[in-house]
Amino acid sequence: MSKFLGYPGLFSCKYCTNKMDLIGKIPQLNKKHVHINNPDKFNKILQQLIEDGPSKLQVLSDFGKTITKQHHKGKPHLNGYGIIKNCPSLTDELGKTLDGLYKKYYPMEMDLHIPLKEKYQLMEEWWDLNENAFKGLIVSPKELEVVCKQLGPTLREGMNIAFDMLYKEEVPVLVFSAGLGDIVKLVLNQKEVLLPNIKIVSNFLKFNSEGVIEGFTAPPIHIYNKNEYIIENAEFYNCIIDKTNVILLGDSIGDAKMAEGIPHVKNVLKIGFLYERKEEALPNYLDAYDVVLEDDQTMEVFISLLKCIFKKK
């Protein structure tokens, strides 16, 4: 059993009915690295999620640095593009182009001073240029599988437990990635957590009948349009139509908006993972998220909330 689950007697449901004192009774929320900007609001939302139970719940989660760790012992993981460029049959040219684009656009994605509208355009520009870099190349599914196994990121500690709990309670989980869907799918599959209640919304490679990459599947998913996709896509809309409550997980400011505009959603509890430029970014994260976890590479807090909502010890 993971160390962080070892709190005997913690999940007796006594505290689940005490209206405004939920935070104080959940030890995982009372650690130094856990920041809650508005405890009253947090308590109120959590109370509602507990009252409504699992049947009203859906989870919206970013993938990179949210489901996966932000770093492993101080070393960052490769993202999907960083992994795929290691396929032997792909050209060095692809690697150089993707690296160059990442160096240029990632700081803009994380920049707290660029207005959202401008960021939206920049992210679409990045998406287009990434897509162009892949066009005309050939890579086999087997090759992707091998590089993913060798270089794929590790999941946050406890992620498999959280996924298992969500599956057992039949809670739909939408995993959003502005990166490469093919890699997201392979990582989840290889870690044995790609369960039937999980849907991946991302940019998947589109191949022609000769196995040549033609581009990405449309529409583009980037960090600032994730919410639009849910609203417009009937398949996803149907599986969340009666889910009024959301737990949202993300690691960038843009992720915090994933649930915006989804009809029928009444209560959203947002968990934000903060690692890079912590001091500078903390105030913005506190505005965007209900709880901010500073350099926490586990799912400890998420699991503790799920246990309350599922009324599990």
Binding site for Mg ion (CB under 5 A): 62, 64-65, 251
| Residue 185: other Cβ atoms inside 10 A | 19
Which residue, 62 or 300, has its beta carbon nearer to Mg ion? Answer: 62
**Spatial distance between the Cα atoms of 188 and 164, rounded to a whole number of angstroms:** 13
Structure tokens at 309: 């909502």
Shortest gap between Cβ of 155 and Mg ion (angstroms)? 13
Structure tokens at 192: 């044995």
End-to-end Cα distance, the chain: 14
Shortest gap between Cβ of 302 and Mg ion (angstroms)? 15
Which residue, 62 or 296, has its beta carbon nearer to Mg ion? Answer: 62
Shortest gap between Cβ of 60 and Mg ion (angstroms)? 13
Shortest gap between Cβ of 295 and Mg ion (angstroms)? 15
Shortest gap between Cβ of 252 and Mg ion (angstroms)? 5
Which residue, 175 or 309, has its beta carbon nearer to Mg ion? Answer: 175
Shortest gap between Cβ of 203 and Mg ion (angstroms)? 14
Which residue, 133 or 253, has its beta carbon nearer to Mg ion? Answer: 253
| Residue 15: other Cβ atoms inside 10 A | 16
DSSP SS3 for 88: coil
Which residue, 50 or 155, has its beta carbon nearer to Mg ion? Answer: 155
**Spatial distance between the Cα atoms of 170 and 197, rounded to a whole number of angstroms:** 7
**Spatial distance between the Cα atoms of 90 and 86, rounded to a whole number of angstroms:** 7
Shortest gap between Cβ of 280 and Mg ion (angstroms)? 18
Which distant-in-sequence residues (6+ apart) come within 8 Å of 140 by Cβ? 89, 211
Which residue, 29 or 184, has its beta carbon nearer to Mg ion? Answer: 184
Which residue, 85 or 222, has its beta carbon nearer to Mg ion? Answer: 222
Cα three-residue angle 224-109-227, rounded to 5 degrees:
10
Q: What are the helix (H) ranges across the chain?
A: 39-52, 80-84, 92-110, 116-134, 141-151, 159-168, 181-190, 226-232, 234-240, 278-288, 300-309
Distances (CA, A) of 116 to 63, 66, 193, 255, 293: 21, 21, 33, 12, 23
Shortest gap between Cβ of 249 and Mg ion (angstroms)? 10
Which residue, 65 or 185, has its beta carbon nearer to Mg ion? Answer: 65
Residue 171 · residue 57 · CB < 8 Å = yes
